[in-house]
Structure formats: C-alpha cells, structure tokens
Amino acid sequence: MKALSLNFLRLLLVSLPLMACGQQPVKPGAIADRIQPYVDREILAGAVMLAASQDRVLAVETVGWADREKKLPMAADAIFWIASQSKSMTAAAFMMLVEEGKISLDDPVTKYLPEFQGQKVGGKDADGKARAPVPLERPITIRHLLSHTSGLPFKAPEEEPTLDTLSLAARTAAYGRLDLDYQPGSDYRYSNAGINTIGRLIEVLSGQSYESFMDGRLFRPLGMKDTTFWPDPAQQARIATSYKASPDKKTIVPVRVGQLRYPLEDPTRTPMPAGGLFSTASDVGTFCRMILGGGVWEGKRLLMEDSVSALTNRQTPPGLKSNYGLGFSTGGGKAGHGGAYSTNMTVDTKDGLVLVWMVQNAGWRTDEGKEILGVFEKAAREARGTP
C-alpha cells in the first residue's frame, strides 16, 4: 500500500500543473490499475507510462518498483536505457542535414565515406553455406542505411565485448571491411551498423561530433534534459533497475545492461547512434509530440513536414513484409520504435496520440509479458476515449 500511495502522489504532482492550466488529464490510476497485476505476479518490476496529444500531456502514471530489492517505488522521472529508440532520434536529427541540402537520401554512401568503396555481397546460400562474394549491383544509399535495407550485418566483429567502445570513424571503417549480406535494396535485415553509419555521416557533414550535433540541434531545442549517452551520478541514481527471468523462471532478478560498459559516466565510452541513449518518459514523449506535430515544437519548426513524412512512412521496397520508414517502424497510421529492454514509443497520427512505455526488461519470464505493452496501449486509449 505504501508503494501505491507514493506512486499516486507522484501522479498527482504531475497532474496538478495540467489541471491548473485547464488541461484535464485522464482519470488518475486508469492506466496503472491495468498494469499492477503484472507487477503483483512478478512478471514486471515497474513502469512509467505516458499518454499525450500534440498540445498536452494527458497522463503520466507509474506502477511497481524502480528497484524491487530496495523497495524503491517507480518515479515519473525515472531514467531508462532506451536502446534502439535512439535510432529514431538519430534519423530525425540527420534529416535536418538533408533539409539543408548537404546530402540526399538517394546519394551513395561512398560519396561521403570512401571506406565503403569496393564492398561485395557475400552472405549464405539456402543450406547456410557461405557464398563466394560478388560485386554490388547497386551502391548502398543513405535511404538504405536508414531503412535497414543496406545489406550491412547487425554489427562488426570489432564491436565486442560491448557496443560502446569504438569511435564512429572506427565503426564505419570496420563496416566498410565487411561483405554485405545481400544486394542493397533487395531485402530488410535489422542493422545497427546502418544507423551508426548515419551518425558518422552527421559528423562528416556538420563538422561537429555526433553527440554535439544531437544535443544542439535536437535535445536542447526540445528541452530533453535527461536524454544522454553518459548519465551523470545524479542521473544514474534515477535509472530504473533492469530485470530478467530468474533461472527457474519463478520470478525476476536484476541484471546489468550487458551491451554497455561501466561506469556509465566514463567519457571514453563512445556514443552509439543506433542504441546508446538513456532517457525519461517525459523526454521521449516530447520528441514524439514534435513528430506528431509535423516537426513543430512550441511554435518552432525543427523539421519540415516532408521530412517527418519520410521518417514515418514506409521506405522498405514493395514486396517485403517488413514495414519500416527512416529510423521508425511504421504501419496503420502509426510510427514509433521499441528498445532492447522492452521500452516503446508510438506516434499515432490518425488519432493524434502519443504513447510512451518505459520499462527495463531483458526477457519476459512468461508469455504474459509479451501482452503487457498491448494492455497499456488499450488502457491509455480507453482512458482517453479513443478505443
């Protein structure tokens, strides 16, 4: 009961400013009450859930624990590793350079990064045997990189033991030495390498470090003060503990984010455009509301409508099952992205709704875990009156 009362107090503190401005949020607890049973059954440790329209936050609710072992209730400002949700933010920032005429989506990557010259297509045949490399039928384009259709593998062998050890220049040099898995534009395979290459292109085109560009052109203009690759000690105290199933699958146990090197504030850790960011529900919600607004935030245009349309509408070739835009999953009037530890964001342009789901789960204990995101989204829509 103590945890529930603390969570309700946090919800009330979030809601009061909205009510003072005449903006009524959804009924307090309407969403959290639907998720609490999963906490009770030890499938989920805790979550922060946000629903918003373009012009206001409708609800921010918390449930469960930021740290089960310490009995630390989940807080609305808890920080999460958002992993691959970083891809959408990287892609959005990159489109600013496209708008400035510094690059075209259909330019070959070799025009800017000569390390990709001379690549061939290898891959495996139907029996799983390596094929003899053959020349490219067409070059890798920027659009291919952003839509996971470049043929690049998920990562390079050099990106071990963690994904945050190489500079972006070293990463792209490593990718350029690889054979492609398939001819560019002919298939879809999820690839961190493609989005990391976009991060390197940001550096080459802007003359800034990737992280400086992201901060100056996207995070600071949006007021995303807790979105960072290097959480400082104060921010680390707010990071929600990650969990996975116990060996006997009877409960959940803490787990460190194995893809990252510690300590997190170590300045020698390198930014990972495809999956390195930490953030809050509020910050992610703000980014999504800018996208929902067609690139406008608080009266200031950050992106042109055409750029937002390119990001959030299908870019994968006809005939492929995968429906992906540029750094965003797409389909059915919605765009968004998930993260490796089960975070998720959805921008629903049809219903004018943003949904942000922040958890830290490295693998569900039971199949029930796979349904929780859908339960949250359904509860949020019902609370808002949008079935």
Tens of pLDDT along the chain (387 residues) come to: 444 444 444 444 444 344 333 345 567 788 999 999 999 999 999 999 999 999 999 999 999 999 999 999 999 999 999 999 999 999 999 999 999 999 999 999 999 999 999 999 997 777 878 889 999 999 999 999 999 999 999 999 999 999 999 999 999 999 999 999 999 999 999 999 999 999 999 999 999 999 999 999 999 999 999 999 999 999 999 999 999 999 999 999 999 999 999 999 999 999 999 999 999 999 999 999 999 999 999 999 999 999 999 999 999 999 899 999 999 999 999 999 999 999 999 999 999 999 999 999 999 999 999 999 999 999 999 988 766
- Residue 91 and residue 194: Cα distance in Å, rounded? 11
Q: Find out whether the peptide bond into 387 is cis, omega within 30 degrees of 0.
A: no
Furthest-apart CA atoms within the chain: distance in Å: 67
CA gap 372, 357 in Å, rounded:
10
Q: What is the pLDDT of residues 170-212, one digit of tens each?
A: 999 999 999 999 999 999 999 999 999 999 999 999 999 999 9
**Domain 83-229+271-279+292-331, CATH class in plain words:** alpha beta
Could you tell me which of 343, 342, 308, 302 has the C-alpha nearest to residue 328?
A: 308
pTM of the predicted model as reported, rounded to 2 decimal places: 0.92
381: Cβ contacts below 8 Å, ≥ 6 apart: 351, 353, 387
Beta strands in the chain (DSSP E): 46-52, 57-67, 72-73, 80-81, 120-121, 134-135, 243-245, 252-254, 278-279, 296-297, 300-301, 329-331, 334-338, 344-348, 353-358
Residues of the chain within CATH 3.40.710.10 domain(s) are 83-229+271-279+292-331
SS3 content of the chain, % helix, strand, coil (to 5): 35, 15, 50
Could you read off the pLDDT of 18-34 as tens digits, one per residue? 433 334 556 778 899 99
